[in-house]
Structure 1
Amino acid sequence: MTWAVASAPVGGAEAEGILLAYYADIVGRYYRRVATRDEVRAAMAAEPSAGLTPPEGRFLLGRYDGEVAGCVGVRLLEPGMGELARVYVRPELRGTGGGAALLGAAEAAARELGATVLRLDTRADLVEARALYAAHGYQEIPAYHDGPYADHFFEKALR
């Protein structure tokens, strides 16, 4: 079984399904309980994914053995500066290489967009994400925005 990552429309049915799973996971972890449908929809509305579309962004689906199992988005913040968003691997498939596959594809997409540096933010409770970023060369940096759900900020120079 292997991972394959490819661009997909962020407004498509497959994207909506994996984004619902992503938000259910992060909202539930934030509240330390299973998130309600209304909480998930509210989070999706508060942080829309529309900026992950061409020409200034990309949304990528990760498939494991042909089934949608993860996602990642990338967008330009300014010329040369990209940002990762919506990095997600279904919990039952973590540890199978999906995070690395998604990061590699997102970094390639960011380069295609003209980014030479890629940034991201994450929360303190998303320990797997922080470990993934550190293992792939992302360095912790000072905050580059003041969003309410960001505790840690990372950056990587793209080669």
Structure 2
Amino acid sequence: MSEPGAASLRPARDSDAQDLFGLIALCFADYPGCYVDPHEDLPDLRAPGRSYAGEGCGFWVVEDSHGRVGASIALDHPEPGIAELHRLYVRPDLRQRGLAARLVAHAEDHARRHGAGAVLAWSDTRFLGAHRLYRRLGYSQGAEIRALGDISHSREYRFDKML
């Protein structure tokens, strides 16, 4: 997934925690009322390399030639045969280049290789661009909405896709 002189995909390391919090803060800045609370809302990002280390799971970042994290995606398996996407974020200056779609495809391929027949994702109701992306990639948006009870008062739509 690397482009000449541009960026490369690699597994997340625990040392990426600060960069990932920064990435998410940049992404949330586009949405009034969205805040980053590393103490309560995002515990998996305190040790991103270890948080998704289970069988068939993964956390990947896109790093530029200067070592800066510009995008991320994570994957776990909440139940047998089902994969769930997490932490799909792309820095604002890197959007509209197909990076998010490539990250989703990478995670779906990984899920498929580890026995998943379906994948799901939850997306904040405010993230309209993410909703368009998921639908364009073949995900169905369900009617279900869940409230997270976080500092941002997040409510999320569920998206599903058969692999």
Q: What TM-score comes out, normalization by structure 2 length? A: 0.76
Give the match's secondary structure for 1:20. Answer: helix
Identity %: 23
Gaps of at least 5 residues in structure 2 are none
Give the match's secondary structure for 1:108. Answer: helix
How big is each residue's C-alpha offset from its partner over 1:91-137, in whole Å with a ceiling of 9 and x where there is no partner? 11100111011111111121122211000111111111111111111
Matched, 1:155 2:160: yes
Q: Which residue of 2 aligns with 1:112?
A: 113
Q: Which residue of 2 aligns with 1:126?
A: 127
- What is the root-mean-square deviation of aligned Cα atoms in Å? 2.8
Amino acid at match of 2:52: L
Measured in 2, the distance between the counterparts of 1:121 and 1:4 equals 26
Amino acid at match of 1:130: H
Give the match's secondary structure for 2:155. Answer: coil
Give the match's secondary structure for 1:53. Answer: coil
Q: Which residue of 2 aligns with 1:44?
A: 42
Q: Which residue of 1 aligns with 2:59?
A: 59
Matched-pair contact (CA < 8 Å) for 1:89–1:99? yes
Q: What TM-score comes out, normalization by structure 1 length? A: 0.78
Q: Which residue of 1 aligns with 2:18?
A: 17
Task: Report which of the two has the higher share of helix.
Answer: 1
Cα 1:109–1:144 shift into 2, 3 Å: farther
Gaps of at least 5 residues in structure 1 are none
Matched-pair contact (CA < 8 Å) for 1:18–1:70? no
Matched-pair contact (CA < 8 Å) for 2:140–2:160? yes
Matched-pair contact (CA < 8 Å) for 2:120–2:160? yes
Amino acid at match of 1:6: R
Cα drift, residue 7 of structure 1: 2.5
How big is each residue's C-alpha offset from its partner over 1:65-91, in whole Å with a ceiling of 9 and x where there is no partner? 575310000000110001000001001
